[in-house]
Amino acid sequence: MLEARDLHIRLGRKPILTDVSCTAAPGEITVIIGPNGSGKTTLLRALSGDIPYDGRVTLDGLDIATADPAFLAGIRAVLPQATPLAFPFTVHEVVSLGATAGLSGADPTLADRALAKVDLAGYGPRFYQELSGGEQQRVQLARILAQVWQPLVDGAPRWLLLDEPVSSLDLAHQILVMRLAERFAQAGGGVVIILHDLNLTGMFADQVLLMSNGTLAQSGTPDRVLTDANIGAAYGCRVRSRKTPREDSFFLLPHLI
């Protein structure tokens, strides 16, 4: 279990998170949603131990504030919104960094296997900077998959913490990434994802955390959280779920087969 209790974070005098408590369970996908500036990324960074906070965060009973960083790297992998690289690394080298940080670094095939999972088989020799934004995003996903390759090790779950992992991806690769997250959770791992796409949230989330103004406004199943009233209040706009705006309006929904 990934558990946060009474989290408070300030930037100078400005509160960023206020009294946030939440849990995420292994075997499930927990999706964090909310408008820009609502505290989603700050919450994920606190859950991963990347920033200081007041309160308590535990991962499978371990207090992450005092945990050994190398040990944490072996049980949870974090995908930030952006990962700039200043040097001309090859794709294979980038992904291998994840394997080295995790517990499976001795497997020389791991980087290529991770690239194949994100539909980048054969990209290993190419330079990272030569790729498109969406391809770079998938390389970074392959890197963290290599870091926690096995979702469950000796009965203990591994964790993926993903900040907007589909933001630069086309429709097919959005589904591919969400399917990867789904399979990781089904195999016993834990997944926490920040998404802006509420349709993907509804399709894949087991639990939804709705952030608003630095607080946890709602939490629960998609049916409970993704209501017209909840979304309208958090985002400041009128919405109608499960209905088209006009009979003659065009819409396209991907089907999960």
Please indicate, yes or no, if residue 71 is contained in any of the structural domains.
yes
CATH code of the domain in which 33 resides: 3.40.50.300
Domain-located, residue 244 = no
Q: Report whether pLDDT(38) > 80.
A: yes
**Predicted confidence band of residue 86 (pLDDT cuts 50, 70, 90):** confident
Whole-number pLDDT of residue 239: 87
Altogether, the residues listed in the chain come to a count of: 257
- Is position 136 within any domain? no
Q: Which domain holds residue 14?
A: 2-84+159-235
Q: What's the gap between Cα 100 and its chain centre?
A: 21
Q: Is the pLDDT of residue 83 over 90?
A: no
* 151 within a domain of the structure (yes/no): no
Q: Exposure of 61 by Cβ count < 10 A (0-12 exposed, 13-18 middle, 19+ buried)?
A: exposed
Name the average pLDDT for the chain.
92
